[in-house]
Amino acid sequence: MHEKLSGQPVPTEPEILAFHTRCEEFYPADAVNACIDQQRQWYDALCAEFDAPSPEGLRRRDAVVAGRIPVRHYRPAEVASETRIFYIHGGGFVVGSLDSHDAICAELAHGARVELVSIDYRLAPEHVWPAAFEDCYEVLKSLLAEGRPLVIAGDSAGGNLAAGIVLKAKAEGLSGIIGQVLIYPTLGGDLVSGSYIEMAQAPGLATGDIAYSREILKAPADNPFAHPLKARDLSGLPPAYITAANFDPLRDDARNYAARLAQAGVDVTYREEPQMIHAWLRARHMSRGAEEGFRHLVHGVARLLGTR
């Protein structure tokens, strides 16, 4: 069940609507019209507002890969597998950092009972395509070189980067990736059909925001590593857990990629959160739907890891 506001469907869960209202107090709906520094200040304040206590016993360690790429290692009190998670944060390729997704990474590592490594990749517009992609791929190679299996995960723009580096790893014959986790990812849909129209003004993310991100990133329109939905062959990719929000212009990117993976013979679990909006991960401690979605996410990740 959902209602319509200004011709657009909106959720009816009170908690997720309260979450959206709270978000807009820190990060306004027209944030993309502000300068980059202002956008980042607003986003950092938003992330700080939804910070959460660290799981008991979890340890963090910051490091640098290839002499220039900051990463953060999370080790929970209980470790059930040598497999690690490589997590890539969202933020439209413009905002976000190690700190913006710190609590999410900590809770994911704790819930899945494995070590997790997050990355602080270069952001646009200072660094356009392929800077962020290259940073993520460099860290991926560094982690795989250590000989431990890896699950690659990312949300939103991070889901794009995660899917893209998995495709490149397949193309280059890299082994060791046992799973991919894509959380409301942006994967290169056409912007003019399906959920891009139905949810064009959805709470939390508009189709215009996605167009803005593409313009500022300047990735080639025909590059499948930048737009994974344009990849011709998805066979042979690692198993996937993909989750989408119903009230999100990016919903059909996730839905269509999951369908194509399944058609290519890839083991894929797809879950669509019926009352959620984009960025619902941050609402996991105030929304029943987000709490349930996060619980399923942890379970899906743990299944890929073999810890459940």
Give the pLDDT confidence of 114-124 residue by residue, as tens digits.
999 999 999 99
Rounded Cα distance, 269 and 241, in Å: 5
User: 146 is written with which tokens?
Assistant: 């250590």
97, 156, 195, 213: the catalytic one is: 156
Q: Which residue, chain included where needed, has tokens 């200072």? A: 126
Calculate helix-pair angle for 131-144, 157-171, nearest 10 degrees: 60
User: For the chain, which domains are there?
Assistant: 3-305 (3.40.50.1820)
The pLDDT tens digits of the residues spanning 200-221 come to: 999 999 999 999 999 999 999 9
Give me the phi and psi of 279, to 5 degrees please.
70, 25
d(Cα 308, Cα 296) in Å, to the nearest integer? Answer: 12
> Does the annotation mark 89 as catalytic?
no
Measure CA 24 to chain center. 20
Per-residue pLDDT, 9:
84
Res 146: pLDDT: 97
Give CA–CA dist 214/220, Å, rounded.
10
pLDDT in tens, 205-263: 999 999 999 999 999 999 999 999 999 999 999 999 999 999 999 999 999 999 999 99
The pLDDT assigned to 91 comes to 98
pLDDT, mean of residues 271-276 = 97
The pLDDT of residue 143: 98
User: Which residues face 71 on adjacent strands?
Assistant: 63, 119
- Catalytic position from the list 102, 120, 155, 248: 248
Q: Taking residues 85-94, what's their average pLDDT?
A: 98
d(Cα 288, Cα 183) in Å, to the nearest integer?
A: 18
- Name which of 63, 261, 124, 99 is nearest 179 in CA terms: 261
pTM, whole model, 2 decimals?
0.97
Helices vs. strands in the chain: H and E counts, helices first: 9, 10
Residues 95-135 pLDDT 10s? 999 999 999 999 999 999 999 999 999 999 999 999 999 99
Cα separation, 251 vs 183, in Å, equals: 10
The total of other beta-carbon atoms located within 10 Å of residue 205's CB is: 24
- Is 248 one of the annotated active-site residues of the chain? yes
Of 20, 101, 227, 278, the catalytic one is 278
pLDDT at position 40 is: 98
Q: Peptide bond preceding 149: is omega within 30 degrees of 0, i.e. cis? A: no
Q: What is the pLDDT of residue 6?
A: 52
Q: Quick one: pLDDT at residue 56?
A: 97
Q: Is the pLDDT of residue 4 over 50?
A: no
